[in-house]
Structure 1
Amino acid sequence: MNEVELSAGPIEYSDTGGAGPVVVFLHGLLMDSSLWDDTIADLATGHRCVAPTLPLGAHRRAMRADADLSMRALARLVPEFLARLDLRDVTLVGVDTGGALVQLVMTGAADRVRRVVLASCDAFDNFPPGLTGKTLFLAGRLSPGLFGAFMQQMRLKALRRLPIAFGWLTKRGDAAVVGWLRPILTRPDIRRDAVRVLRAAAADPGVLTEAADHLPEFDRPALVVWASEDRVMPPDHGRRLAQLLPKAQLSEVDDSYTLLPLDRPAELARLIGDFTRTT
């Protein structure tokens, strides 16, 4: 795992290297870059794949105590990350909260972004998304210590698989979830960061509705990939995003919940690879 120092603090990232088209992957809340491992394994032969672990609650390097961890500030970290690594003509991919960050980048500093992929993600007024997001936002009102006590319940698989937890996010990815939860269950500084993220997000509920007003101004290629069985991110939101974006194409994937990189990684890799080759 590599590391780069950004304005908010240290960010770990994986980088396959190589001379192919650059694809940068953004994960969701309470996840890390390992979300993309299987998709990257299928793409790495013809692409340079870079996956940062953002400070969204499963990171292992705590942020500075005074860092702004709002959604808008986290989105600003993305172009900062691209600039520090001097990545250009990037295909920026996001799922879940990562897709929300991609939308915010699209409406801001996107000069290093050549194309985007939005995969089953928060959009429009679905923020916080579904029962999972609403539960987390409510838990974020707790102190970091009490939030940690609340999250200890996630040690039990039966509770992780509930709709208010990860049950409607992935059909097959519980093993990955166990790894993502480890920092927040064991590290007070990571719990502090997670609570700050949740409180800042809850204080800005209209952030994606505002971003949607500017999405038609994004004139570069976009691929919208949505899980047809998604219970957290409404499939209609994928269709609406594809209609808003001037150069968008839409693909719907079956046999998957929100986290396509866990449930259908090979199909997602195929769609991304076709997209980078044909645009």
Structure 2
Amino acid sequence: MKTLLCLAACLLASSAALAQNADIFGHPLPAQKHTRVFGQEIAYYDMGTAKAGEPVLVLLHGYGSQADVDFGPSLPLLAKHYRVIAMDQIGAGQSAKPLIAYRVQTYVEFLAEFLRTQGITHFDLLGESLGGWTAAAYAQQSLTSGSTLPKPTRLILEDAVGFSVPENVLSSNAGVHFSVSTVGDVVTGLRAVFYNKSLITEEVARRRFITKLAADDAMATSAFTGNPAVRGEALGEKASTITIPTLVVWGAQDTLVPIATGQAFAKAIPQAKLVTIDESGHIPSLEQPQRFVKVVEDFLSTK
């Protein structure tokens, strides 16, 4: 009996250990939750607790990434003061990857349905890179007269694409590009993302390669970059109809999406404020989590 009890305890301990996730630096994260959206499985983190009357903070990661990569180091910091929900968007991370022609509107509609299924009506919306494009498009549509979409209280765009359509995203051969295939590819990608190249250790590259292989997202990312319909989804001057308080936060050394894009968003959105984070490349929430969270919390605490 003691042996059986010990074995059961060991199995439970092993299951608990397996349920734990980690960011690419190896810091622990809780297990993801799962739900069905349009019949497809969506994985997400749900951390922290919202104070009475406070909005939920919903996070959307960037292209070819997932929640625990883009936001991993920032999630525990944000969860100290907010209820934070960070989705693996459809076609990414541990969420389902149906064979469809992905476009920004796909992500917008999955976000809307996710919010509906979770009963979330009072929320702030934060998107990084392609997630920022989705967040801005969702906000713009939700604020259109007659829209039934739940409206975000505030909007945060982190190094967001989508004011115009970046040519390096929709190149002529993008549809046949199947993402990374070696650790060396991962290092090349990380070098484009990080300002501080010393963060790209062998262990970080190995962890990112493991998450990328597990995501199995090559077909989904290629479907997006090869979809000509995306060219018509740039926000442009439609961003001027986003009439909620907006923070545009940018890595000062972002070489993937120039600060001019952030300036364009900030100029077009009436209530937008632009803040840059020094010593950061394309993903401040990953490279400078303490500074990023401070900027976000300062914005969210402003009444």
Contact map agreement 1:92 1:116 (CA 8 A) in 2: yes
- 1:88 alignment partner in structure 2: 121
Alpha-carbon deviations, 1:23-59, whole Å to 9, x = none? 11111112111021221211212100100001344x2
Q: Distance in 1 between matches of 2:64 and 2:166?
A: 15
Cα distance change of structure 1 residues 64 and 276 upon mapping to structure 2, 3 Å threshold: same
Q: Does 1:2 align with 2:33?
A: yes
Alignment equivalent of 1:167, drawn from 187, 191, 207: 191
Q: 1: distance between equivalents of 2:41 and 2:205?
A: 23
Among 217, 220, 242, the residue aligned to 1:193: 220
Query: 1: distance between equivalents of 2:258 and 2:98?
Result: 35
Amino acid at match of 2:221: A
Alignment equivalent of 2:175, drawn from 140, 158, 178: 140
Q: Distance in 1 between matches of 2:78 and 2:237?
A: 33
**Contact kept in structure 2, 1:62 and 1:193, CA below 8 Å:** no
Equivalenced residue count is: 258
Determine which of 144, 151, 168 is the counterpart of 2:180.
151
Letter aligned with residue 112 of structure 2: P
2:154 corresponds to 1:118: no
CA, structure 1 residues 216+8, in 2 after alignment: closer, same or farther (shift >3 Å)? farther
User: What is the alpha-carbon distance in structure 2 between the residues aligned to residue 178 and residue 96 of structure 1?
Assistant: 23
Partner residue, 1:46: 81
Q: Which of 130, 135, 138 is 1:102 aligned to?
A: 135
Rounded Cα–Cα distance in structure 2 between residues aligned with 1:141 and 1:4: 31
Q: Percent identity between the aligned chains?
A: 19
Residue 207 (1) aligns with residue 233 (2):
yes
- Supply the AA of the counterpart residue of 1:86: G
Q: Which structure would you say has the larger RCO, counting Cα contacts within 8 Å and 6 or more residues apart? A: 1
Which residue of structure 2 lines up, in the alignment, with residue 232 of structure 1? 256
Using the alignment, how far apart are the partners of 1:223 and 1:51 within structure 2?
18
Deviations 1:51-98 (A, max 9, x none): 0001344x2243334x45222111211121111111222111111111
The answer to whether structure 1 residue 24 and structure 2 residue 58 are counterparts is: yes
Q: Secondary structure at the match of 1:204?
A: helix
Q: 2: CA distance between counterparts of 1:183 and 1:140?
A: 22
Structure 1: gaps of 5 or more residues: none
Distance 1:250-1:134 versus aligned 2 partners, 3 A rule = same
How many Å separate the matches in 2 of 1:38 and 1:151? 23
Shift of the 72–52 alpha-carbon distance from structure 1 to 2, 3 Å rule, reads: same
1:73 corresponds in structure 2 to 106
Q: Closer, same or farther in 2 for the Cα pair 1:87/1:138, shift >3 Å?
A: same
> Residue by residue, what CA displacement relative to the aligned partner does 1:167-213 show, whole Å, maximum 9, x if unpaired?
2212356466654543653676x43333323322x4422421xx222
Residue-by-residue CA offset, 1:4-24 (whole Å, 9 max, x unaligned): 111161110000141233111
Q: Which residue of 2 aligns with 1:182?
A: 210
The residue identity in structure 2 corresponding to 1:49 is V
**CA distance change for structure 1 residues 227 and 183 in 2, over 3 Å: closer, same or farther?**
closer
Read off the aligned partner of 1:192 and give its amino acid letter. M
* Aligned twin of 1:245: 269
- Report the equivalent of 2:14: none
Q: CA deviation at 1:272?
A: 1.1
Structure 1 residue 3: Cα displacement: 0.7
Quick one: which amino acid aligns to residue 11 of structure 1?
I
Partners of 2:239 and 2:74 lie apart in 1 by: 26
Whichever of the two has the greater Rg, that structure is: 2
The TM-score with structure 1 as length reference comes to 0.82
Q: Given the two structures, how large is their TM-score scaled by the length of structure 2? A: 0.76
Q: How does 1:56-71 map to 2 (within 5 A)?
A: 56-57=91-92, 59-65=93-99, 67-71=100-104
Unaligned runs of 5+ in 2: 1-31, 143-148
